[in-house]
Amino acid sequence: MSRSRFRALQPLPGVALAAVMAVIATRLRYDFIEPERLGAACEKAGPWWCGARRTLIMATEWNVVGGVALALAGLAAWGYFRHGRDPVFQALAALAVGGLGIVIYNATFSALAIVIAALVLAQHRAQTA
């Protein structure tokens, strides 16, 4: 696919990335975070993965995922509109993390980050087309 065709598709690849991350997050949520048997296993024997599970649960309680997505979207917008920098990397990262956050209990900040990042990519496409 040529560079001009990729630019013409923006922000669609980023939105697709957010959707893929949401699917991955769904598996993470329903297979790793929510099962009660895993919580009980962590209380009793403490398998090697319990630390990662606890960290992920605490990160969702403190809205870390949504905050990171919003920070990345804000950096993309600020860098693009204020300094004229290429926003693609930060915007795609915001879409990926936002897609994850939509599913794992950080929907408010993540949804806002997805909207901001998609708008930045759309504006970038309009400017460079």
Pick from 12, 20, 6: nearest CA to 122 = 12
The confidence score (pLDDT) of residue 1 equals 44
- List pLDDT tens digits, range 16-34: 888 898 899 999 999 999 9
- List pLDDT tens digits, range 38-53: 988 888 777 899 999 9
| Stated pTM of the model | 0.83
Residue with tokens 């860098």: 79
Cα distance between residue 9 and residue 125, in whole Å: 8
- List pLDDT tens digits, range 53-94: 999 999 999 999 999 999 999 999 999 988 888 888 899 999
The structure tokens listed for 75 are 């950096």
Cα distance between residue 104 and residue 26, in whole Å: 7
- Whether 36 has a pLDDT exceeding 90, the answer reads yes
Cα distance between residue 125 and residue 119, in whole Å: 10
Query: Do 10 and 122 meet the contact criterion of CB atoms below 8 Å apart?
Result: yes
The confidence score (pLDDT) of residue 11 equals 66
The structure tokens listed for 52 are 């990662």
User: Please, which pLDDT band fits residue 2 given cuts at 50, 70 and 90?
Assistant: very low
Burial class (CB in 10 A: 0-12, 13-18, 19+), 47: exposed
Residue with tokens 């923006």: 10
User: Please, which pLDDT band fits residue 5 given cuts at 50, 70 and 90?
Assistant: low
Report the percent of the chain where pLDDT is more than 70: 91
Helices (H), 29-106: 36-44, 50-61, 64-83, 88-103
Query: Do 123 and 80 meet the contact criterion of CB atoms below 8 Å apart?
Result: yes
